[in-house]
Amino acid sequence: MSEFALHISNGIINGPVSAAFGAVAIVGLAIALARGRADLDDRLAPMAGLVAAFIFAAQMLNFAVLPGVSGHLLGGALAAILVGPWIGAACVATVLVIQALLFADGGITALGLNVTNMALLGTAAGYLLVAALLRVLPKTSTGLGITAFVASVVSVSVAAQGFVLQYLLGGTTDFAGGIGALAVAMAGPHALIGIGEGIIAAATVVTVAKVRPDLVYALRRFHSAPARAEAAVPAGGAA
Amino acid sequence: MNRRLGWFLGAGLLVAVVLAGVVSNFASSDPDGLESVIHQGCELNEDGEIVGGECVARQAQDHELGDSPFADYGFAGVDNDVLGTAVSGVLGVLVTFAVGAGLFWLVRRRGGNGATAKAPEQGGAAGGR
């Protein structure tokens, strides 16, 4: 096993575009931390640390999606459900920074590209789906599991197309067949990766919801919907 | 942080440590979705190195910290892939938790009900990293 790179390496996207996405990442994370601070209490802060650590661990677990092709969880949708979109984005970014600095995974000049795709785009897309689905689905284990699954599939697909956009803007060589072919080539395996991630994310959030429903951000945030008023009780009291 | 939350965090960390330290050695070592796409068009040898053809990954440059002791989720001090991955995985989980929880603890909203902006006894915890 000569290489175990999981993220965009140096040199794939040119310097100016990498730097521009570095700026996007910094501004995006600053906004996320500023907005997320309202959610961050004494309970959510250590929980967010755990979510980051869990995503780090899950990203090491590559599963086969096609012959000769694997994939791993990205974590944006999972983080958004457990700790909310703002802190969730910061959790995924924390993982990516540690991977780049400590494990030489994902180039340092490519860090802004990776953070934009997986932490910002992936979490935002995942949360939009969560917000929409939890308004219509019941707040049961099944409803939450379906939400996590669908949000993960969409989140991974959007993050993958983020790379296509970056390649369109600053790819250092031509992809055979052009940018449309790159979009298609990225979409296929990442739809399958999203399905794998969806299963892991659904199992994780359903488990947490059974043990400590008050620690699931999405259940607290959307508890005002019609069904299951009792879901609101532990959220307020059990801290 | 109360005791029940402590138990939950401890159990969660234990799961993460087992996933990263043990289960990770059973993970697929095939290239992931992105890697396989950027290698399309190139011929690779058994070690995954490019030996011919044209592909996006030809432009890839070495990592700035490629010589770091934990590069590529191994451990330079151990000549054993399984052990190296285990050391890297456990270290990564603990460092990620420490950095993440530390960072979020520092920027968290102070005061129980929002009204009291700063609680003096919490100031001491801020230095913990």
For residue B37, being part of any structural domain is answered with yes
Q: Do A70 and B68 touch (CB under 8 A)?
A: no
Choose the weakest-confidence range: A100-109, A150-159, B13-22, B117-126. Answer: B117-126
The predicted complex's ipTM stands at: 0.89
Confidence class for position B127, pLDDT limits 50, 70, 90: very low
Is-contact A53 B13, C-beta < 8 A?
yes
pLDDT for A76 equals 98
- Whether B1 is in a domain gets the answer no
Q: Which residues of B touch A104 (CB under 8 A)?
A: 63-66, 68, 70-72
More confident residue, B113 or A213: A213
* Minimal-distance CA residue of chain B relative to A161: B34
Nearest CB to A215; choose among B8, B33, B109: B8
Q: Is residue B6 part of a domain?
A: no
Q: Which amino acid, A150?
A: V
End-to-end alpha carbon distance in chain A: 46
Is residue A51 within 8 Å of residue A78, measured between CB atoms? yes
Q: Does the residue B87 lie in any domain?
A: yes
Distances from the Cα of B13 to the Cα of A25, A38, A52, angstroms: 28, 25, 10
- Mark yes or no for CB contact A11/B12 under 8 Å: no
* Interchain contact B82–A (C-beta under 8 A): no
pLDDT the model gives residue A2: 36
How many domains are contained in chain B?
1
What is the mean pLDDT for each group of 10 consecutive residues in chain A (239 residues)? 68 96 98 95 96 98 96 97 98 98 95 98 98 93 96 98 97 93 96 98 97 94 56 43
CA A92 remoteness from chain centre: 6
Q: Is there a contact between A107 and B37 if contact means CB atoms under 8 Å apart?
A: no
CA proximity to A93, closest of A158, A48, A39, A138: A48
**Does residue B4 form part of some domain?**
no
* Segment B81-109, tens digit of pLDDT: 899 999 999 999 999 999 999 999 999 98
- Encode pLDDT of B55-66 as tens digits: 999 999 999 999
What is the tens place of the pLDDT at every residue in B27-75?
A: 999 999 999 999 999 998 888 889 999 999 999 999 999 989 999 899 9
pLDDT score at A132: 96
pTM of the model: 0.89
Task: Please indicate if any CB of chain B lies within 8 Å of the CB of A118.
Answer: no
pLDDT of residue A153: 98
Q: What pLDDT is recorded for position B1?
A: 61
Domain that holds residue B107: 12-127
Q: What share of chain B is helix, strand, coil (3-state, %, to 5)?
A: 55, 5, 40
* Residue B101 forms part of a structural domain: yes
B27 in contact with A at a CB cutoff of 8 Å?
yes
Question: Does residue B74 lie in a domain region?
Answer: yes
Q: Looking at residue B112, what is its pLDDT?
A: 53
CB distance from A168 to chain B under 8 Å?
A: no
pLDDT at residue A222, rounded to an integer: 84
Query: For chains A and B, what is the number of CB pairs under 8 angstroms?
Result: 243
Q: What whole-number distance in Å separates Cα of residue A121 and Cα of residue A90?
A: 12
- Burial class, B59, CB count within 10 angstroms (exposed 0-12 / middle 13-18 / buried 19+): middle
Q: Would you kindly state where each structural domain of chain A is located, as residue ranges?
A: 15-237
The answer to whether the CB atoms of A54 and B16 lie below 8 A apart is yes
Determine contact: B51 vs chain A, CB below 8 A.
no
Domain assignment present for B7: no
Domain A15-237 has CATH 1.10.1760.20: yes
Q: Measured between CB atoms, does B43 come within 8 Å of chain A?
A: no
